[in-house]
Amino acid sequence: MAADKKTTVLVTGAGGFIGHHLVTYLKNKGYWVRGVDLKFPEFSDSEAHEFEILDLRRWDNCLRATRGMDQVYALAADMGGMGFISAHHAKILHNNTLINFHTLEAARINGVTRYLYTSSACVYPEYRQKDADVVPLKEEDVYPAQPQDAYGWEKLISEHLCRHYREEYGLETRIVRFHNIFGPRGSWEGGREKAPAALCRKIAEAKLTGDPTVEIWGDGQQTRSFCHINDCLTGLYKLMQSDHHDPINLGQDCMVSIDELADIIARIAGITIIKKHIPGPEGVRGRNSDNTRLRQVLGWEPEISLEEGLTYTYRWIEQQVLQKRTGRKTELPGLACLAR
Ligand code: NAD
């Protein structure tokens, strides 16, 4: 469905991984797009019609960001992989609360009609995620609440805020719970990268140096599901168009252990690795998405297999590692298909 050309959309966090891809996706659908972030995207220029550097912890900046917008996709957050979110509880709770409370209220004041909030599978209680062979999480499993980290608590309270703004002010809110989104052009080094990107980097380094040892946090038996960015964008867009206002999972429901994830990436890289298990933040023992509601509501679910998605992602990260080591920009053959 092509958008009315006059529909204006704000993407917050447009300098980040999902937001950067989303700007391109929405522009291609015919929307007029404003991107806002603390920084420009790191790996390619934004295609936003307008891109503003604004700190959304500040109320005045939120008013400025949402002015004249019909719809908001709220993605801005201080976040990262397990290493980051298990070590910065105060900062995450403080920053993300300010961002989300101010952005939502500014959207209301500026007459935004639809607002999509990006929550996380981290809202689900620890007590349901103690086994690697976990029962997939349904949306209603979130209560009684016991998220593992401050990151999850903040997401949960912002979900509530969206619900109350819809019920009391009539602002049409949508709430998505992502389960580990991965793909090219996301953080792959520096501490904020997540497991798929970190393992792609380590395996690319093993391939380039010839040292097959790859460090893995924990015993490698912890499980997750991983969803490719292209499926994430399709799901986000479909949800925004839908009438469904309760929180909904968006992820793959095909679970693998972190060791299996490393093996798949090593196969893609074409090398044999030696996995070295070291102490490190592991998060919950097991997590998987129950996609029953996603199928019911959107008549759709993620389609890209882990192997296919990782092939594109690995090739992009290998290129980044190579560039960093040699200082030369090299275009790997076939990289254009990343943007399919
Ligand atoms: P990301 O870190 O790549 O992007 C978030 C962006 O928000 C960053 O570019 C950051 O600079 C920006 N930001 C942080 N503080 C800001 C501020 N004060 N003002 C303006 N911008 C600010 O993360 P992502 O993976 O693209 O995630 C997007 C959203 O999806 C986040 O809300 C995240 O919590 C949620 N989410 C992502 C995943 C995932 O697997 N990637 C999983 C669950 C939830």
Domains in the chain: boundaries: 8-181+227-250, 183-224+255-285+305-327
Q: Is 185 in the pocket of ligand 1 (CB under 6 A)?
A: no
pLDDT tier at 5 (50, 70, 90 boundaries)? low
What's the pLDDT at 247? 98
Question: Rounded CA gap, 39 and 204, in Å?
Answer: 27
pLDDT tier at 6 (50, 70, 90 boundaries)? confident
Ligand 1 atom having least distance to the Cα of 192: 2
Is the per-residue pLDDT at 4 higher than 90? Answer: no
Tell me how far the alpha carbon of residue 19 lies from the centroid of ligand 1, in angstroms: 8
Asked about 124 being catalytic, the answer comes back as no
Distances (CA, A) of 285 to 3, 128, 259, 288: 42, 10, 13, 11
8-181+227-250, superfamily in CATH? NAD(P)-binding Rossmann-like Domain (3.40.50.720)
Is the per-residue pLDDT at 157 higher than 60? Answer: yes
Residue nearest to atom 34 of ligand 1 (CA): 77
What's the pLDDT at 232? 98
Q: Looking at domain 183-224+255-285+305-327, does it have CATH number 3.90.25.10?
A: yes
Tell me how far the alpha carbon of residue 97 lies from the centroid of ligand 1, in angstroms: 13
pLDDT tier at 82 (50, 70, 90 boundaries)? confident
Sign of CA dihedral 96, 225, 247, 143: negative
Tell me how far the alpha carbon of residue 276 lies from the centroid of ligand 1, in angstroms: 30
Question: Rounded CA gap, 173 and 242, in Å?
Answer: 11
Q: Is 193 in the pocket of ligand 1 (CB under 6 A)?
A: no
More confident call, 49 vs 328? 49
User: What's the whole-model pTM score?
Assistant: 0.96
Is the per-residue pLDDT at 70 higher than 80? Answer: yes
Cis peptide before 144 (omega within 30 of 0): yes
What's the pLDDT at 328? 76
pLDDT tier at 258 (50, 70, 90 boundaries)? very high
Closest CA relative to residue 290, chosen from 129, 106, 59: 129
Q: Is 118 in the pocket of ligand 1 (CB under 6 A)?
A: yes
